[in-house]
Amino acid sequence: MAPGAARSGIALSLAPGIGRVRFRELIDEYGEHQRAFEATVPPARRADLLDQASRLLDDAARCAARVAVYGLDAAEGEREALPSPGEARGEAQTSSSGLTVPYPARLGDLPDPPPVLFLRGHHEWLSAGPVAAIVGTRVASAYGERVTRELASQLARAGALVLSGMARGIDGAAHRGALGAGGRSGAVLGTGIDIAYPASHRPLHAELSDRGVVIAEQPPGEPATGGSFPERNRIIAALADLVIVVEAGRKSGALITATRALELGRVVAAVPGQIDSPQSAGSNELLRDGAQFIASPADAVALLGLTAPPRAPAIEVTGTARVVWDALSRGALDLDTLTSQTALPAREVMAAVTRLEMSGAVECALTGEVRRR
């Protein structure tokens, strides 16, 4: 039986000497994956490479992932259902039916698009509606995480897919802000699709796989390497319409994402930070050099051409949250003043503000002030 297009494409990507750029050249030249495979790979090598491709499809199926191959715009078929996570398969998967999904068109803007992608969750979101990437330092300040949650929440409520890299700090805050608002979020990994990195983000990885979308270029089971995160960043840049940098140092990987985004003609924006903060040195320099200035969540929403969501309806507020809510009746307050006026421990004030923010009752300005909606 002749190999399917997806299996031929995967096999070609595994051939020695076929990198990302060469793979794209071959698919563009021959127009069909099987033709490109047979024109490039000697007959003696084909069976082994096709077997490797079948094993890779097996690996994807075992971890409930789907596969997208560059140049393959439609699934080969949906006759075969994917197993649930952790479900073992009794025999080798020899067909890509039901496993393949359309390749995200935006990645075609890259000179070196991933030949093969592995995806979990709502892969269709990558081609539906605007995408905002929020990226920044792993060592985020309380200000950076608070601003990121608010940006992600407002963008998600306005209808954008909020994309990031599932790292500590700004990335994690972006995912949680979008999911907490009941919106859409996606993560591009620097590991295999089935590996949560860092390990502390296993619950977030599981939630994104279920309620969001997770994307990986690395094969299932592949750990992170020194170069996998910069490579991941180019995918984030290509998938996004807008890249927002929050708290990035001068050597931050977020600046790599911003640079790639600019090269691809995407809109790049940044949140201003303290001028004496190392975490904000790179993002402030982006603003100096012409990046769009984010002074409020409304600015980010407007850059995507979206409309800010309506104000939240009145809600019932009780307990500690009621004390904080009442303190805000006289106007916006920063957290220090709020803590002083409520006479509550700072951690309880922060927890109450988070609950109120997630419910839509209050908003946290980029200046650090909390105000009623």
Predicted confidence band at 253 (pLDDT cuts at 50, 70, 90)? very high
Query: pLDDT by residue (tens digit) across 149-179?
Result: 999 999 999 999 999 999 999 999 999 999 9
- Nearest-Å Rg of the Cα atoms of the chain is 23
Query: pLDDT by residue (tens digit) across 20-32?
Result: 999 999 999 999 9
Instruction: Give the percent of the chain with pLDDT over 70.
Output: 90
Which residues, other chains included, contact 346 with Cβ-Cβ below 8 Å and sequence gap of 6+? 335, 339
Query: pLDDT by residue (tens digit) across 65-115?
Result: 999 999 997 544 333 333 333 333 333 333 445 689 999 999 999 999 999
At residue 121, the 3 state secondary structure works out as: strand
Residue 15: inside a domain, yes or no? yes
pTM of this prediction? 0.80
**227 and 325 assigned to the same domain:** no
**87 and 147 assigned to the same domain:** no
Question: Kind of pairing, strands 131-136 and 161-164?
Answer: parallel
At residue 149, the 3 state secondary structure works out as: helix
Say if residue 302's pLDDT is above 90: yes
What pLDDT is stored for residue 311 in this prediction? Answer: 53
Tell me the torsion sign for CA atoms 261, 262, 265, 269: positive
Torsion angles phi and psi, residue 108, rounded to 5: -65, -15
**11 and 82 assigned to the same domain:** yes
Residue 166: inside a domain, yes or no? yes
Mean of the per-residue pLDDT values of the chain: 89
Residue 195: inside a domain, yes or no? yes
Q: Which pair of structure tokens corresponds to residue 145?
A: 């995480």
Q: Name the residue with tokens 């994917």.
A: 82
Residue 313: inside a domain, yes or no? no
Q: C-alpha angle 175/176/179, rounded to 5°?
A: 85
**In whole angstroms, how far apart are CA 109 and each of 85, 216, 234, 370?**
32, 18, 11, 40
Q: End of a domain among 103, 133, 150? A: 103
Q: Name the residue range of residue 61's domain.
A: 5-103
**150 and 295 assigned to the same domain:** yes
Count how many domains the chain has: 3
